[in-house]
Amino acid sequence: MEIIEKIINLIKKYDNFLLVIHENPDGDTVATSLALQIALRKLGKSVESVCKDDIPKPFAFLPLANTVRKDFLVGDYDAIIVLDCGDLRRTGFPQRLKEFAKHKKNLINIDHHPKNDLHKIASINLIDENAAAVSEIVFNLTRLLHIELDKDMATCFLTSLYTDTGGFKHPNTTPRSLEYAATWLAHGARLKLITKNISLNRTVSSLKLWGIALSRIHKNSFGFVTTVVTRRDMEKAGASDNDLSGVVNMINSIPGSMIALLLSETSDGKIKASLRTDSDEIDVSKIAHLFGGGGHRRASGFTIPGRLKQNIRGGWNIIQTDH
């Protein structure tokens, strides 16, 4: 409670806030940031959100999604709040956040990931590893600030929870999460709009890309399920990185799967790895940490320099590069 009181006092004291949406943004970081932006504006604060990357099309329906900035100047803000970010590098602005933390000392880290390097430089850390999504944490904060919950905030909060629980299918769905969802629905959260844009929003290009990814599934005797997607595959399908959203969860649903791994080439010459598991005995975040990544026990990822190349046996090799 002491940590939350510090955040409340800081919010009451200052007027200019920046909310950081992590790179390669997912529904949790985008939707919760927009919900908090709406909430703080209700208090008369000047609030902006920033993201190094474009906001994925499935989340363009969210209120204020078209106002997210691509860059910022540290001197323009009294406080910066980073939401749902596993590590400092993933913010997209590591050096500037270090500079801000050093001089202004008003860097707030709100997350449901384990402690990391961002935790070390933040002046205040509000962490709840038991929260299914960071929206649960931020919603409680807005209640303590006595901010009235409206349908726009409720829609953002529900979008966050819906995406991080895989539409309430993942094991992180708890009774508490469903209670939050019920509260948000009671305040006008537009579930039909959320499902239409997220679960049912599949273009021809994305389906073609999924077809390629699913055609390459390999499962070994240990229940390790893998597939790969190259830049050439994306070009051939006319798809983008965002069209891969959900693929790793799909291959993790294969009966007997213990760990699912999706390897995909990025536009800047790297390989992105997405890991999933439903096993209580496996912690994929430990695998991700070995390669400089992070995440949750059941959902993690990392990025390494390199490219993917098919070998003569039909398998795939990772070719290291100097990038």
Quick one: pLDDT at residue 198? 87
Cβ atoms 172, 164 nearer than 8 A = yes
**3-class DSSP assignment, residue 301:** strand
Give the per-residue pLDDT at 230. 96
Q: How many CB atoms lie within 10 A of CB 48?
A: 16
Q: Is 263 helix (H, G, I), strand (E, B) or coil?
A: strand
Query: Tokens standing for 32?
Result: 């919760």
Q: What is the 3-state secondary structure (H, E, C) of 59-99?
A: HCCCCCHHHCECCCCHHHCCEEEEECCCCCHHHCCHHHHHH
Question: Domain-by-domain residue ranges, the chain?
Answer: 2-198, 204-319
Q: What is the pLDDT of residue 323?
A: 54
> Which strands, in side-by-side order, build the sheet including 294-295?
218-219, 224-229, 259-265, 270-276, 299-305, 294-295
For the chain of 323 residues, list the mean pLDDT of each consecutive stretch of 10: 91 97 92 98 98 92 97 94 90 94 91 84 93 96 97 98 89 93 98 91 89 95 95 93 87 93 92 92 91 84 91 87 65
CATH code assigned to 2-198? 3.90.1640.10
User: How many Cβ atoms sit within 10 Å of the Cβ of residue 148?
Assistant: 10
- Partner residues linked to 111 by β-bridges: 127
What single-letter DSSP state applies at residue 269? S
Q: Render pLDDT for 34-56 as a digit per residue (tens, 0 to 9).
A: 999 999 999 999 999 999 999 98
For 222, phi then psi, to 5°, come to -95, 0
d(CA 128, CA 206): 34
| Strand 218-219 with 107-111, pairing | unpaired
Give domain 204-319's CATH number out of 3.50.50.60, 3.40.50.11810, 1.10.630.10, 3.10.310.30.
Answer: 3.10.310.30
pLDDT in the model for residue 158: 98
